[in-house]
Each structure stands twice: as structure tokens, then as C-alpha cells.
Amino acid sequence: MSVRTTASETARPVAPSRGALRPLSLAEVRIDGGFWADMQSLNASAIIDHCETWMEKVGWIGNFDAAVEGRLLSDRHGREFSDSDVYKLLEAMAWEVGRTQDERLDARLRALVARIEPAQEADGYLNTKFGRPGQQPRYSDLQWGHELYCYGHLLQAAVARGRTAGDDPLVQIARRAADHLCEVFGQGGIESVCGHPEVEMALVEFGRYTGESRYIDQARLFIDRRGKGTLGDIELGQSYYQDETPVRDAEVLRGHAVRAVYLAAGAVDLGIEDNDAALVSAVAAQLKRTIARRTYLTGGMGAHHEGESFGADFELPSDRAYSETCAGIGSIMLNYRLLLATGDEHYADLIERTLFNVVATSPAADGHAFYYTNTLHQREPGSTPSLDEPSPRASSSLRAPWYDVSCCPTNVARTLATLGPYFATSTENGLQLHQYGSGEVSASLNGGTVAVRVETNYPSDGEIRLTVTETLDDEWDLSVRVPGWAREGAQLHVGGEIQEVAPGIASVRRVFNIGDQIVLTIPMAARWTTPDPRIDALRGQRAVERGPVVMCLESTDVPFASNVDELRATGELVDIDGVVTVGVRHMVAWEEAWPYGVEAAEISPETQRVTLLPYHSWANRGPSSMRVWLPMVGDTPSA
Ligand SMILES: [Zn+2]
């Protein structure tokens, strides 16, 4: 088959049948300059190749060959869910081919699909871990087996392929698998769910893509069955896989963070297709409380290493932040769905925060190593992981090239490949920009097509210049998001007029001419941020943010101290064209035999200035200590 010359206008990651905002496609939103264009280039030039190379090396792709050749019993590699990472790679490749029409990448995608296809069994079953003679039987371990989770990623890869290139063997594999799934888990079938949610949103999207309601019906069965204890109890508790409380009855996201956000995203998808406002608003309320009480400054989610799970409300320790990259990505998927459903820009605010401070933090500057967990406080300089072996620990202190459990790199790859649609949406009469980067945005409104050229150095500076390049004879709305953190000072320049704009949506409605400009200016100067006093782990500390970017202090930038924990911030903060420095004092001769009952910390009277670094850039210069939240001098007894 040939690759299309332009990305299809159907190439959108989700396509809800109703909602306040319409999603745009890869063809309609193209990012071509600045921070996210660079990240997309890194994905194209390094990350996707890296994921494929490693999955060949560790044998996860080879498992499909072994299945066909009958070698699986003695020659299977990776964990029970390793198939899913091959599918996530396929999804990344499919979006990337759709975005760039890269024919060599398309050929690699087709070659991979050709290795997977013969491993599928006659009835549609596809999994390299279960079901063959000598292996555990199919669906004998729904708690931990991840079989339906793997189908979910297969279906999402097929949706990406179908929407960018049309029906092809990957779509056909997915259709056989989805039909099998409906057969086995449908009415009268196995009345259970998968321990790891994911298939729910995939089934809804596959139903949207194919136009067949049976897949959405199956998603509904899974959503409705969950929370009734079907999976049984485990050491981590049933909340680990969200099976202790029905989705509609829960008050907050809890348990394993990735599972929680994937399930919630699937519930929103189902609620939209069923026109079930109660289900959508139940999830929205759970997310609202989760954002208010269980989310890190970075947008990261998950405060427990045990169970990779959410902690209690306000339990957000920096040094034990799990904040898995995949949980951040799942949060973006969930927030995007609710943005589309409601038009509420608070969701776009959290998407921005999570993109800049979780997604952008995961890959190393060269795209060849990744964070799985994203701590906000590295107490001791770590050691460089092996470049040749997968890291056995998710919580590696420096980015590792691969992990025994390597869900995050492929998740980053598929997210970056399909980033454009997260930046802008449309309505019948308007175009809305939610995220900023240089590029082109177009949309079909009721009266025809409109288009805007965006020029900006965001987030280095806060000027976003929109030029209308295609317009209508009639009035239409051009809207921009004023970020929630820009509490004052944002301005909209329209023609010769300047107006102050508050966080949320700022809209201009008029008859636009080609060449008309609107300029949004957002004050970007670095600012201090204080935590909710109920977050005990942060009491007495403040963080610095610059625009949407969370800053950190890395020991690499502090030659006079051996560890950032020896420093106390004075509150002085200077931002000169994005070079952000803070005043600090050094704790001297701080040695106690017993770390309690201490009356005074000796702190140097001299203030020194240290430079802060965007958190997403840390740990690119070798082992270091690092912290986002800085203890303040005023909180130390002797100061
Ligand atoms: Zn992950």
C-alpha cells in the first residue's frame, strides 16, 4: 500500500461523537518550531528507533516470531505484558507516519505487523504469554495477566493506523482480536474485567473508528462490572485495580495511578458515547479532587512506590514521588477527554503542566534514556545505569535506556507523535488554542475553513502571535487559553487595542481578514509557589516556577555545596531573560549525633546566588542531587 501524501483529517487520537469542543487532527494542527517541535523531532530521530532497537534486543518483538515457530515455552522474553509495548511502538509509528509521511518508517511498521499477524490464533486470540500447550491457559489470571490490557494497546495502535492510512493488516488483526474479546467477555461470557484497565477506552475508540457499537457495548460491560470485587482481594487491596468501588460511586482516583487514569479516561469515553452525563460528571468530580489533593506540582500522579499508587489526600512526599511517566500521560489523556467534553480550560492547564514537567522530563536530551518514575527530590547522587542491560528498577536515579518493565518510553513516543491535536480544537463557529508552539492550525467551521499561523518562543517568552491565514466572510471566534498560573498581567492585543485578560478563555469574535493579527502576551517572570499547608512533606518549602515550567536546584550548579540539601533559600529571586537565580545560604558544620531535639541550625550569614534549571532538564549532566521544593531560611530555627 502507498502512504498518503497528507495526514488524514480523520487522524485524531480520540473522536467523541459529542462534546463542547471538537478535536482537530494531525493534519489540522502542525507544530513546526520551538520546544515541542524539537521534542517531536527527537521522537522521530531517536526515541522511536530506540524503542524498536531495544525491543528487538530484549526479545519482546521476537516473542511473536517464537510464537509462530513454536519456541515460546523455552524462548519467551520479558514480562507478561511485553506484547503491549510492541503495540505502543506500532501506535507511535502509525501516528508518526501520519504526521510526516515517512516511507521508511511506514515500511518498518508494516514489517513489524507482518511478524505479529501469524502469531494470532484462528479465533482472534493474540498473546505470547498465555494459551499454548505448556503455557498458562488463556484468561486464567485476569488479576495480573494483562491479556485485555494488551488488546487495548493493540486496538489503539490499529485506530492510529486506520485513521492515518486506512484499513490495513494491523486494523484487521485488531478487528479479529476485538471480535474475539466481545465473544469471550460479552453477555453470557466470562463476567470479569482485566486487572489493568486500558481496554475500555480502546474499545470505545475502536467502536468510534469502525462505527460498530458492539465494541462500545463491550466497554460498557467492563466499566459496569468493575468495582464489584470480581478480581478478588490481593495484598495491595482491591483499590489497587479499582475493583473495590464502582466507577460511578468513587470519590477520587486511587490505587495504581496508571490504572486509575486509564479507567477514568475509558469511563469518560463511554459516558460521552452513551450521552451519560452522570458518568462523565462522576469522573470529573473524582479528577477535581485528585488534582486538588493528590497531584504533584509537576502534574505527576502517584505518591507510593508500593503499588505504584496514589497516596492519601495531601500525601505528596517529594523524595518518594513515584509520579510514573505513564500516569502523567494517562492524566493528559483523561484531561483532554474532559476538555473536549466540557470546554473547561482547567483541563488544558493540567495538560500543559504535565507535558512540560512529566512528559518532557522522561526522555534524556539525546532521546536514548528515560525516567520511569519522576522524583521531585533526589537526595543522593545516583549511579549511571547500564547502557547495555535493562534496569531492573523503575525508580532508577538516572534515566535508563530500558527497563525490565518499560511501559514509559513507548508511551512517550506515541504521545509526542500525536501531540498536535492536544494544542487546538474547534466549534461550529470558532477555533480555540489551548497549548502554544509555532505552527499552523486550521479547522472546518460551519461557514468554511479558517486557519491561523502561530509564532512564539513559548515557554522561553510569553508572546504568542496569531496571524489569520484563511478566513470566512462572516464573523467567527478566535480563542486562546490564558493559563491558570497567569493570574494577572496577561494581555490580548487586537488591532490597536490592548485588553487585560484573566485565566481561562479569551475570545475575539469578528469578521477577520487574512493577515489580521492577535497577540497574547503572558507574563513569564519566575515566581515563588507555596504549597497547601496540609501537604506536610512540603511545609516550610517553596518552589520556583517560570511560566508552565517547574524549576529545580541541581547540585551540578552548586559548586560550593556537596548536596543541595545543605542549602536554605532566602526568598530572593531574579529572572533575567529566563536565567533564574535564587539566593541561598549554606548550612555549615551541621553534624548531630541525634537528629531530633536540635535547637539551632548554623547557617552561613552570606547569601550566595545559584542558578535554577527547568526540572525537565535535570540529570542530563551526570549524577547529582536535586530538589524542586526549597526549604526557606525563615523556617530554620536559628535564622
Ligand atoms: Zn510506565
Residue 259 neighbours by CB under 8 Å, 6+ apart? 195, 196, 197, 240, 241, 242
Measured in Å, residue 265 CA sits from the centre of ligand 1 at 16
Measured in Å, residue 407 CA sits from the centre of ligand 1 at 4
> Would you call 624 helix, strand, or coil by DSSP?
coil
Measured in Å, residue 483 CA sits from the centre of ligand 1 at 28
Measured in Å, residue 602 CA sits from the centre of ligand 1 at 42
Measured in Å, residue 186 CA sits from the centre of ligand 1 at 29
Measured in Å, residue 69 CA sits from the centre of ligand 1 at 30
Measured in Å, residue 371 CA sits from the centre of ligand 1 at 9
What does the alpha-carbon distance between residue 362 and residue 409 come to, in Å, rounded to a whole number?
A: 8
Each residue's pLDDT tens digit, 250-281: 999 999 999 999 999 999 999 999 999 999 99
Considering the entire predicted model, what is its pTM?
0.97
Measured in Å, residue 312 CA sits from the centre of ligand 1 at 21
Name the amino acid, one letter, at 602: E
> Would you call 482 helix, strand, or coil by DSSP?
strand
Band of the pLDDT at 590, cuts 50, 70, 90? low
Average pLDDT, the chain: 95
Complete DSSP assignment for 44-69: IIIIHHHHHHHHHHTTTTHHHHHHHH
Each residue's pLDDT tens digit, 36-71: 999 999 999 999 999 999 999 999 999 999 999 999
Residue 591 neighbours by CB under 8 Å, 6+ apart? none
Measured in Å, residue 92 CA sits from the centre of ligand 1 at 15
Measured in Å, residue 277 CA sits from the centre of ligand 1 at 30
What does the alpha-carbon distance between residue 300 and residue 294 come to, in Å, rounded to a whole number?
A: 9
Q: Of 279, 26, 240, 261, which is closest to residue 143 (Cα–Cα)?
A: 240
Measured in Å, residue 326 CA sits from the centre of ligand 1 at 4
What does the alpha-carbon distance between residue 98 and residue 6 come to, in Å, rounded to a whole number?
A: 8
**Model pLDDT, residue 639:** 35
Residue located via cell numbers 499552523: 440
Measured in Å, residue 638 CA sits from the centre of ligand 1 at 43
Residue 111 neighbours by CB under 8 Å, 6+ apart? none
CA angle, residues 82, 304, 393, in degrees to nearest 5: 45
Length of the chain: 639
Measured in Å, residue 552 CA sits from the centre of ligand 1 at 23
Measured in Å, residue 257 CA sits from the centre of ligand 1 at 10
Instruction: Give yes or no for residue 16 having a pLDDT over 90.
Output: yes
Measured in Å, residue 6 CA sits from the centre of ligand 1 at 32
Each residue's pLDDT tens digit, 131-170: 999 999 999 999 999 999 999 999 999 999 999 999 999 9
Residue 212 neighbours by CB under 8 Å, 6+ apart? none
Report cis status (omega within 30 of 0) of the bond before 548.
Answer: no
Q: Which residues surround ligand 1, an ion (CB under 5 A)?
A: 324, 326, 407-408
